[in-house]
Amino acid sequence: MKLNKKMAALILLIVLVVSVGYWMTQRERVKELKIGAILALTSSYPSWSESIRDGLAVAVERHNSMTNDGPKIQLAIEDNKGKPEASISAFLKLATQDQASLIISTHTPLSQVLQPIALEQETPLVGTVVSAVGFGEANQWSFLDWPSQDDLSPPIAKYALNELNATKAATIVVNDDYGLSGAKQFTSTFESNGGKVLLSETFSNEDTDLRSRMSKIIDSNAEIVYVVGRETQLIAAVRQGRELGFEGHYVGVNAFDVAAIWEALGEESNGVIFSNIEILDTNDASGAGFHQAFRSKFGREPSWINMYGYSIGEYLCPIVSSADGDRKAIRDQLAKLNRETIRGNVKMSPVRSVEMPIAIFRRQKEKNVRVDVK
């Protein structure tokens, strides 16, 4: 009988040790919830990725600071150097080795290649700074939080027709899905409403001399030129076109609205007209907290892209925590997303794309002025 009691006590002790060990393991696992981010940090266009990263970092830190007993979030960042093949390797590393609960990716050509892998790995993919039309429709694991070209380009085409009274246009865009889909949307809207696109030009991400293309546009007598590309080419198109004597309007989308472009162009930026999301006032408690946290961390005021990155983290962190990192649960919550954030209400559409209002801005005296409201 004594032996049985001793054995029972030993078994109980073993069970307790195993249970505590399991609990500790689970606790450690909960502490290691990860959000992955694949960014083009050492590419020829790093500022967008840097801005999204900095906003996300503040969102994660604020979430963790307000989380006592729940899971903490880690932000696992991979640099794809602007190369699609590196994006694929980074996704596989984050999804398998790092066990990220979901993965954020920037830029159209660097994110589209990840969609079949997101499906294969059953890992939610959130694209931002991605303007590809129909990104969220690719599969149930793909989500878009950024205005696509069918959001951005038609409004700027209508503004050119109705407010600038332009009837003759030209397009010059980067030769990838981002630029080509924008040109297609712009041309379709412009011509279906009575305008005519006289000339369509393209360039690569490596091109820095656009003078021959801009000369053709000037010779076509286009009144406006629709430009879509990355920083170096947008700067070149505006500067070189002005040098050659183009006196019409430059119009485009939110790719223009980055500090590196405005700083490089200076006064030459005045008159550029572009579409972007409607930026809401963030002077409420949430906005004040973000601004204070951002200034404390980086020693500067945040840009609208920093705010955008923060707002993504603002809704992703609670979702990942409440789902305990379960990817399918996160996917399902994202599909039903309807939350208040620093940029207003964020709601996912049936095609897995965040709905957002679009506004038109004009660069005046080196500042952005909204011009689509009277």
- Report pLDDT for 281: 52
Instruction: Measure the CA–CA gap between 217 and 214, rounded to whole angstroms.
Output: 5
pLDDT of amino acid 345 = 87
Amino acid identity, position 306: N
Q: Alpha helices, DSSP H only, in 220-368?
A: 231-243, 259-265, 285-298, 304-322, 327-335
CA-to-CA distance for 262 and 363, rounded, in angstroms?
9
* Element spanning 104, H or E: strand 102-106
The full set of domains in the chain, from first to last, is 33-147+281-356 (3.40.50.2300), 150-252 (3.40.50.2300)
Q: Work out the end-to-end distance of the chain between its first and last CA atoms, rounded to an integer number of angstroms.
A: 92
pLDDT at position 44: 85
User: What are the structure tokens assigned to 74, written together?
Assistant: 């880690």
Selection from 292, 278, 290 nearest residue 346 by Cα: 278
Q: Rounded to an integer, what distance in angstroms lies between the CA atom of residue 280 and that of residue 356?
A: 11
Residue 286: what pLDDT?
A: 66
How many CB atoms within 10 Å of residue 255? 25
Beta bridge partners of 274: 252, 361
CA distances, 261 to each of 18, 221, 283 (Å): 59, 26, 27
DSSP 3-state of 146 = coil
* Spatial separation of the C-alpha atoms in residues 195 and 206, rounded to whole Å: 31
| Unique residue bearing structure tokens 């962190």 | 317
Question: How are strands ordered across the β-sheet holding 73-79?
Answer: 73-79, 33-39, 102-106, 125-128, 142-144
Give the pLDDT of residue 46: 93
Distances from the Cα of 221 to the Cα of 74, 195, 225, 339, angstroms: 54, 13, 10, 47
DSSP one-letter code for 257? -
Per-position pLDDT tens, the chain of length 374 = 444 555 445 434 433 443 444 444 444 444 679 999 999 999 988 999 999 999 999 999 999 999 888 789 999 999 999 999 999 999 999 999 999 999 999 999 999 999 999 999 999 999 999 988 899 999 999 999 999 999 999 999 999 999 999 999 999 999 998 999 999 999 999 999 999 999 999 999 999 999 999 999 999 999 999 999 999 999 999 999 999 999 999 999 999 999 999 999 999 999 999 999 986 655 566 678 899 999 999 999 999 999 999 999 999 999 999 999 999 999 999 999 999 888 888 999 999 999 988 999 999 998 999 998 75
Q: Is the pTM of this model over 0.85?
A: no
